[in-house]
Amino acid sequence: MTREVLLTNDDGIDAAGIRALLEALSAEYDVTVVAPATNQSGVGGNRSWWETTVEYTERDLGYAVEGTPADCVAVAEVALELEPEVVVSGCNHGPNIGAHVLGQSGTVGAAMEAAFLGTPAIAVSLYDRGNLPIPPTVTHDDFALAGRVARDLVTRVDDEGRLPFGADVLNVNVPAADDEAAADPTYRVTEPARGFDVIEFHPGTDAAGGDAADEGSTGENGTGGGDASGTAGDGDPGGDASGFDERRGEMGMELRDRFWREFLRGDVADDPGSDRRATVEGEVSVSPLSSSRSVAGDRVGETFDVAGETLEIDDGTLEAAGE
């Protein structure tokens, strides 16, 4: 029996990425597209609630929803009564890397919504090392490897509806098809890079790309040690070639992160295994994620008294001092 797949995205139903994934997945699976009518990049897992009316219309490609990517997943289940075995979200135009992006990316947000509703999900994003952080234009052919990767990972969902690595969601970042690494790609299990920081930038007075930012100082321009930014297209583009130093507002302070400057230079200190390192090296990054984000482990359900005690952190668990 052909596997049922729900395909959505955050770039909108007319985006090249979702059309490329539809073509790749339809070769083996029964695919239904339910995607935003317009670009919804950067909305994260936002849903339309209460007094907001969510409308949808049928188009040649599938269903266009006047709402967020998470709305699309809900509409598919509640209004369209679809019962997909797996949800694929993408392919996003630009990478989705870094721990903090998990709440910012509409691509990942749709996948998380599916996981909350009990369906395994795969978020797929494209990066192009020759055009970082965001390729100015993309064509169907740019997503050829992304389509193949998505198809292969859907195949790995087992008969019990479980993703590899015990994940609820796989966050996948794939190089563009014309990347030299795409001919024989390395698939690497990764975790979202940590260490995000923000710098204060005053247009017209500060040089955001100056020594302080480059050296990761702990002075007034930041806390030092930038790490992964969010979705390209959702987050803060930066670096010499992409406008990190450019004025955006007329006056006042702007908040920017330093990740894009480091990413453009390939100047990242992450250990092998971070999603940011994998993308710099042209690999297919596969980050298994949990929808609960809980770290309580086997301590769940325990009671503890914090009065008069200091709680010590030991390998992610809470221990009362003196116990």
Q: Are strands 63-65 and 30-36 parallel, antiparallel or unpaired?
A: parallel
Give burial (CB, 10 Å; 0-12/13-18/19+) of 291: middle
pLDDT at site 246: 56
pLDDT at site 126: 95
Decide: helix, strand or coil at residue 292. coil
Tokens standing for residue 117 = 């509703």
Residue 218 pLDDT greater than 50, yes or no:
no
Residue 68 near residue 105, CB atoms below 8 Å: no
Report the share of the chain in percent with pLDDT over 90.
Answer: 54
Report the share of the chain in percent with pLDDT over 70.
Answer: 75
pLDDT at site 185: 95
pLDDT at site 151: 97
Q: Please, which pLDDT band fits residue 208 given cuts at 50, 70 and 90? A: very low
pLDDT at site 251: 53
Residue 135 pLDDT greater than 80, yes or no:
no
Tokens standing for residue 228 = 């992964």
* 220: number of Cβ within 10 Å: 9
Q: Please, which pLDDT band fits residue 207 given cuts at 50, 70 and 90? A: low
Mean pLDDT score of the chain, rounded to an integer?
81
| CATH code, residues 4-192+274-289 | 3.40.1210.10
Residue 97 near residue 172, CB atoms below 8 Å: no
pLDDT at site 209: 46
Residue 47 near residue 71, CB atoms below 8 Å: yes
Q: pLDDT digit string (tens) for 23-44?
A: 999 999 999 999 999 999 989 9
CB-side neighbour CA atoms (13 Å) of 105:
31
pLDDT at site 301: 85
Decide: helix, strand or coil at residue 299. helix
Q: For residue 152, what are the contacts with CB-CB under 8 A and spacing of at least 6?
A: none
Tokens standing for residue 24 = 């790749």
How is the chain split into domains, by residue range? 4-192+274-289, 196-267
**Residue 133 preceded by cis peptide, ω within 30:** yes
Nearest to 17 by CA among 123, 168, 171, 157: 123
CA dist list (Å): 167 to 25, 62, 148, 152, 154: 21, 28, 20, 16, 13
Q: pLDDT digit string (tens) for 76-129?
A: 999 999 999 999 999 999 999 988 888 899 999 999 999 999 999 999 999 988
Q: For residue 289, what are the contacts with CB-CB under 8 A and spacing of at least 6?
A: 102, 112, 167, 168, 169, 170, 171, 192
Q: pLDDT digit string (tens) for 147-170?
A: 999 999 999 999 999 999 999 999
Residues 83, 321: Cα–Cα separation, whole Å:
49
Q: Please, which pLDDT band fits residue 50 given cuts at 50, 70 and 90? A: confident
Q: Determine the average pLDDT of the residues in 242-247.
A: 52
Nearest to 108 by CA among 278, 257, 290: 290
Q: Are strands 4-8 and 63-65 parallel, antiparallel or unpaired?
A: unpaired
Choose from 103-107, 136-140, 210-214 the range with maximum mean pLDDT.
Answer: 103-107
Q: Determine the average pLDDT of the residues in 241-250.
A: 52
Tokens standing for residue 252 = 């006042």
